Structure 1
Amino acid sequence: MTLLKYLTKHTQLSEKSIKNTVELLNEDCTVPFISRYRKEKTGNLDEVHIGAIVKFKAEFETIEKRKIAILKAIDEQGVLSDELRSKIQETEDLVSLEDIYLPFKKKRKTKAETARKNGLEPLAKIIMAQNHDEIDYVASQYLNDQVQNEDDALEGARHIIAEWLNERISIRNQIRNQLERSAMLTTKVIGTKKDDEKAQKFRDYFDWSEALKRCPSHRFLAILRAENEGFIRVKIEIDEHYIISKIEDRIIKSNNSCTPHIRLALQDAYKRLLFPSLSNELLKNAKEKADDEAIKVFSTNLKQLLLGAPLGEKRILAIDPGFRTGCKVVCLSAQGALEHNETIYPHAPQNKSAEAIKKISSLCDAYKIEAIAIGNGTASRETERLVKRIHFKNPVEVYVVSEAGASIYSASKIAREEFPNYDVTVRGSVSIGRRLADPLAELVKIDAKSIGVGQYQHDVDQNKLQTSLDAVVESCVNSVGVNINTASVPLLSYVSGIGPKLAENIVAFRNENGPFEDRVTIKKVPRLGGKAFEQGAGFLRIKDGKNPLDDSAVHPESYSVIQKMAKDKNMPISDLIGNKTELHQIDLQKYCTDSIGLPTLKDIMEELEKPGLDRREKAKVFTFDQNIRKIEDLREGQLLPGIVNNITNFGCFVDIGIKESGLIHVSNLSDTFVKDVNAHVSLNQQIIVKILAVDIARKRIQLKLHKN
């Protein structure tokens, strides 16, 4: 099968779109660039479709690579026939490929191999022929120094038959199908671990059983974690008598002295070879599916978090709250530069609240602060209440900001390079303030796995997770666009075609030569060639530059079309931008060329109407119920404001202003069936919840989404 046919089969997209997209990918074009600026070639495919092509292209290449290795291995054994070669080349999946290769795979010393060396393979063939009534007599003819009696001969022959049955593709597929339909996942607690305090969070699985195919991904991953931590044993169970009888019906063709030996060989093959191998394969496949589901959840959450509402360029006072060690306070410029830092001690044990109020008030006046960002960790609510007692001379909005991953950033190489003369506490406070101004620009500096908006992210395939999260970050960064004159190296590194090294070169060039005045100047950055410029230019913005189009998503390759439009209108480009009346009068068909069609022209029109528009919402002030300070204050039936701080397949977690987040189980999101949690809530959404139950001992809060 060719790559094109494989991709067509798995994506259901047109061959032309796939062919052109693959050509672009082979030219090192990125997914954001292809989806945004090559719509005519791809047939207007979006990032999801192109991402699917990337995925299945890699899958196909893995299969082809494995085929080459298998063909080489079998050929070296001198047993590669034309028929076998053709069979291997026509195979479309790795499982079938490995089944074909199984009889030729070099094995460690096995019972079957020992029996072959003892000359018992002809006896095994006679038994499998099933046409002999005196098999004991036949076995007596195969005795030698290694085979002492008929029983030894027949046992050796059965080992060979067991291996043959294990290698028979039809039998393996029959068991596979039965396992997929009927396998039960069962767990038992390890006796010595039953009372272990750490094991209690897994106590639901101390004695558990359910159909594997119905086990949701989050529960399956929880069970595997409990097993990995040594608290439970996990088994796959199935009606083996039913499976064996079905296989017997297929392979036993007579009833003579050979029949009992075939039955014994089948039972041995099933228990020793087939079931262990195929049940492990089943668990491996289930793990991969659960990983994919968990990664999908994490990726969706991460995208929502990265595209969270920015406050914008405001002068911010940020506070990393604490009790004994005090609250770390920093003042940031509208561009996020650190202008001042110090520590205040408003809470126990120092209790210098009056002094802290006076200090915050004076700092807000001195640095013309427009907003205050308070981290949501320890002492957050106490600090928020303190700040809201202050009577500011000028309006100051107060926000509570997620601290997730701030400590990771503050100790990172990136933070040390940004603030070499400040300790981790100052860096952490700066990160909190910058997150309020622009979540995307700040969160790209942190390993996405440390942000904490997924389920079981440390249990899934880490390479697959990293690939998915990198794609999400790249997509978000390029969908918003990047101000090349203010962006950090980490942010620039996610721009299409740029990467870490070119990002460093851009910042170094900017520091040495001053701000970029136009996109053309970007080409002067060392080692930034034509390909990188083509891929990245449309996503890099220049505010207040020489060319107004440089602060838009219009690619420089399309500037000439806009210049022609402006000329036909007899007005400068600057007057055309934002002029909906004139723009709506333009006949786009007139400007279609071989390289620029209606999809691109419509994108250009949309961008000219609102150039540089940030698709994200603006940050909104949120206030928790001031009467709720700890879990003991909660009562069933209360209605409380909250913020969604994590989404999983089984529901969403909500911050209601105390240390413990509450859970809205999927069944409590709606009065109707909920297929997708994200269809009902989104990360950082402000909602009203109803308290259903409170378990103070286990620190668990059950919530219901309250419909306004």
Structure 2
Amino acid sequence: MINLVAKISAELGLKEFQVNNSVKLMFEEECTIPFVARYRKEQTGSIDEVALRDIRDRYNYLTELETNKVKYLKVVEEHCKKSPELMAKFPELKAKFEKTETKQELEDLYLPFKPKRRTRAMIAKEKGLEPLLEKILAEAASISDLSLIAKPFVTAADSTIDPTLKVADVKAALAGAADIYAERIAETAELRSLVRQISQDSGFLVSKKIESGEHVNEDGEAIKDPKDKKMKKTDPSKYQNYFDYREPISKAASHRVMAVRRGEAEKVLRVAIDVDVERIVSELRTQALVGRSMSPEVKDWLNNVIDDSYRRLISTSIETELRLQLKQTAEVEAIRVFSENLENLLLLPPIPNHVVLGVDPGLRTGCKFAIVNETGKLLHSNTLMTDLGDRETNKTVVAKAEVLKMLKDFDVKYIAIGNGTGSREITRLIAAVMKENELKDIKRLVVSEAGASVYSTMDIAREEFPDLDPTIRSAVSIARRLQDPLAELVKIDPRSIGVGQYQHDVNVTKLKTSLEEVVESCVNRVGVNINTASYKLLSYV
């Protein structure tokens, strides 16, 4: 705890008592962040919600990192106990594990000990070819003919050992030794870190259009489908900006990363990370062979092994890591933007203590009208079939008369019109009613109706209006959004409110957690009227 607190305080530029008390309040006493920010200022030194969330996230990360260190070290120790040579190296390995500061560093160190599928290197070790590799490395400076070194490791023709463990010839022996060394290089943490850094510095996010009849295999390579299956349901044209797209991964904006990922998921785009392979292989050779004296033949052999290690083992895993890193960075930014937009929407100023007419526009099924009183109680509802074209028909005349009657009978002060299909047409009709009858005291506003249809079928809406048609419930929600945006919008799943992009492409759990925190923060910042608040609103208090 003390070490973690000191580390977090140094990273975030806070005092240790602030971090220590914040951690105790959030993790031991299970206080919410809004509560700590508002009512425990004397313990936290008045740090705000943003700093508290940073402390929480960093503490969770470091705690998980320390837990993984303990778990991985147990596995490594058990592995080392099988060999006295490995056990002698365990203290050094343990020190390296304990020094790691990121999960990526820890995973790189743990990779050689991680349980995995049977590899070519494992098969070569089973055939007894690891001593051949050690001999080549030990005598690298003096070896002039690798075939002579490998010959003793070839299985005799009359040998009775298991056929799967036989080494057919010198070529097979050297290939097995090469497989062992290639895997050793691929699992060396320092070398992986080198490749990752160069890939990040020189890498480009690239996307190309998948042509009609062209499909992608498991490795992301284009293949032709002889049957030319059905065309994709997705309209490819919406991804035309990414048909020949190339951008440094260090500069790729989050929305573009999310866009190409969605295009790839919908089989419209083929996406890859393009890196400077020549530079990577050159640096890898230099670092892997530094300080080693070698004959020309051994040097050529080792260089070929290093090339194979990168192309066959390292490149694909590093590309997967970089793509995951891009995805996670883009998700964080997308969730941040979503959260900010939601906060701005929830904190829109209310218009209380006025009678409001809510309008849910509709062309085919008619426009739905709902009038609510000063506290949001439904007073009247109606559905009007109107001709919303430029010509005035009998339907239009009847609709105008009915709208005028509602406005006057219930002394409406505000009209909230949903921004869905038909919004402009019904706005034009209502504006004409107000102009013709000189209703200058009534104010007309367009309100976002995102999520209103979702709310209309929710349990909370059915409980309040069991006998109302769902479309009328939508009109009620639109009217209430104008009266008190916060009180009304908290009833709806934040992901349905329509204030962010790619909400269906990001981590659902992280998005839900972030948005719930925003709602909780807004509710606690503004406060509630317990006499009129719904149980959904009170649940965030």
**TM alignment of 1:502-521, pairs within 5 A:** none
Match of 1:65 in 2: 67
Correspondence 1:180 to 2:200: yes
| Secondary structure at 1:389 match in 2 | helix
Matched, 1:23 2:24: yes
Q: State the partner residue of 1:34.
A: 36
Tell me, yes or no, if structure 1 residue 288 matches structure 2 residue 328. Answer: yes
After TM superposition, the structure 1 = structure 2 runs for residues 546-565 of structure 1, keeping only pairs within 5 Å, are: none
> In structure 1, what residue type is equivalent to 2:147?
D
Question: Does residue 337 of structure 1 match 2:337?
Answer: no
1:374 aligns with 2:411: no
Q: Which has the higher helix share?
A: 2
Within 5 Å, give how 1:586-605 maps onto structure 2.
none
Taking structure 2 as the reference length, the TM-score comes to 0.88
1:471 CA drift (Å): 1.1
Matched, 1:131 2:141: yes
Residue 304 in 1 paired to residue 324 in 2? no
Q: Counterpart of 1:77 in 2: which secondary structure?
A: helix
Cα deviation for residue 240 of structure 1 reads: 1.2
Question: What does residue 141 of structure 1 align with?
Answer: 152
Query: Match of 2:502, SS?
Result: coil
Provide the rounded CA distance (Å) in 2 between the counterparts of 1:326 and 1:58.
52
Matched, 1:168 2:178: no
Partner residue, 2:476: 430
Query: What residue in structure 2 maps to residue 657 of structure 1?
Result: none
CA distance in 2, matches of 1:132, 1:454: 65
CA distance in 1, matches of 2:394, 2:14: 66
User: Given that residues 127 and 262 in structure 1 are in contact (C-alpha distance below 8 angstroms), is that contact kept between their aligned partners in structure 2?
Assistant: no
1:255 equivalenced with 2:294 (yes/no): yes
In 1, Cα distance between the equivalents of 2:213 and 2:459?
A: 41
> For 2:213 and 2:450, how far apart are their aligned partners in 1?
32
- Is residue 388–residue 425 contact of structure 2 (8 Å, CA) maintained in 1? no
**1:121 — aligned with what?**
130
- The CA deviation at 1:469 is 1.0
State the partner residue of 2:304.
264
CA–CA distance in structure 2, aligned partners of residues 294 and 178 of structure 1: 27
Per the alignment, in what secondary structure is the counterpart of residue 270 of structure 2?
strand
CA contact (8 A) 1:326 1:347 kept: no
Pick the aligned partner of 2:249 from 200, 212, 215: 212
Corresponding residue for residue 228 of structure 1 = 265
Residue 262 of structure 1 aligns with an amino acid whose one-letter code is: L
Change (3 A) 1:235 1:393: closer
Alpha-carbon separation, structure 2, partners of 1:20 and 1:419? 46
Tell me the residue number matched to 1:279: 319
Q: Take 1:120 and 1:9, find their aligned partners in 2: how far apart are those partners?
A: 50
User: 1:78 offset after TM fit, Å?
Assistant: 4.8
What's the secondary structure of 1:141's corresponding residue?
helix
Taking a change above 3 Å as real, the CA distance of residues 351 and 271 of structure 1, as seen in their structure-2 partners, is farther
Looking at structure 2, the residues matched to 294 and 394 of structure 1 have their Cα atoms a distance apart, in angstroms, of: 42
Is structure 2 residue 94 aligned with structure 1 residue 85? yes
Contact 2:357 2:371 in 1 (8 A): yes
The answer (yes or no) to whether the contact 2:154–2:167 under 8 Å persists in 1 is: yes
User: Separation in 2 of the partners of 1:108 and 1:393?
Assistant: 77
- Partner of residue 403 from structure 2, selected from 360, 367, 386: 360
Deviation of 1:348 (Å)? 4.9
Query: Does residue 107 of structure 1 match 2:98?
Result: no
CA contact (8 A) 1:132 1:258 kept: no
The answer to whether the Cα contact below 8 Å between 2:358 and 2:417 also exists between their aligned partners in 1 is: yes
- Following superposition, the deviation at residue 467 of structure 1 comes to 1.4
CA-based RMSD of the aligned residues comes to 1.9
Supply the AA of the counterpart residue of 2:369.
V
In the alignment, structure 1 residue 14 sits paired with structure 2 residue 4: no
CA contact 1:10–1:56 (8 Å) conserved in 2: no
Shift of 1:167: 0.9
Partner of 1:600: none
Q: Match of 1:383?
A: 426
Partner of 1:482: helix, strand, or coil? coil
Aligned match for 1:466, one of 509, 512, 519:
512
TM-score, structure 1 normalization: 0.67
Higher relative contact order (CA 8 A, sep 6+): 2
1:191 counterpart residue number: 211
Offset of residue 351 of structure 1: 5.6
- 2:520 is paired with a residue of what secondary structure? helix
Q: For structure 1, which runs of at least 5 residues remain unmatched after alignment?
A: 496-708
| 8 Å Cα contact 2:372-2:378 kept in structure 1 | yes
User: Is residue 307–residue 439 contact of structure 1 (8 Å, CA) maintained in 2?
Assistant: yes
What SS does structure 2 have at the residue aligned with 1:92? Answer: coil
Q: CA deviation at 1:273?
A: 0.9
CA–CA separation in structure 1 for the residues paired with 2:269 and 2:16: 50
Change (3 A) 1:73 1:331: same
CA contact (8 A) 2:208 2:270 kept: yes
- Residues 323 and 6 (structure 1), Cα distance of their counterparts in 2 relative to 1, 3 Å cut: same
For residue 443 of structure 1, what is the aligned residue in structure 2?
489
Q: Is the 8 A contact 1:227 1:233 kept in 2?
A: yes
SS in 1 for 2:250: helix
Cross-structure match for 1:320: 360
Separation (CA, whole Å) in 2 of partners of 1:271 and 1:248: 13
1:341-397 superposed Cα distances (whole Å, 9 cap, x missing partner): 111122259861221222222222322322111111111112112112222678322
* SS of corresponding position for 1:483: coil
Match of residue 416 from structure 1: 462
Confirm or deny: 8 A CA contact 1:404 1:452 kept in the other structure.
yes
* Equivalent residue number for residue 50 of structure 1: 52
Unmatched runs of 5 consecutive residues or more in structure 2: 82-86, 156-162, 215-230
Provide the C-alpha distance between the structure 1 equivalents of 2:256 and 2:64, rounded to a whole number of angstroms.
30
When the two structures are aligned, how many residues end up with a matched partner?
495
Letter of the structure 2 residue corresponding to residue 126 of structure 1: K
Go from structure 1 to structure 2 and tell me whether the alpha carbon gap of 1:153 and 1:364 turns closer, same or farther (over 3 Å shift).
Answer: same
Distance 2:426 2:239 in 1: 35
Aligned amino acid, residue 3 of structure 1: L
Query: Separation in 2 of the partners of 1:153 and 1:346?
Result: 85
d(CA) in 2 for partners of 1:47 and 1:33? Answer: 9
Q: CA deviation at 1:423?
A: 2.0
Structure 2: how far apart are the matches of 1:293 and 1:348? Answer: 42
Displacement, 1:427? 0.9
Contact 2:203–2:249 (CA under 8 A) maintained in structure 1: yes
Distance 1:162 1:353, change over 3 A: same
Contact 2:191 2:288 in 1 (8 A): no
Q: Aligned pair in 2 of structure 1 residues 393, 101: CA closer, same or farther (>3 Å)?
A: closer
Alignment partners' CA distance in 2, 1:489 and 1:156: 68
Q: Is the 8 A contact 1:112 1:159 kept in 2?
A: yes
Q: Percent identity, aligned pairs only? A: 42
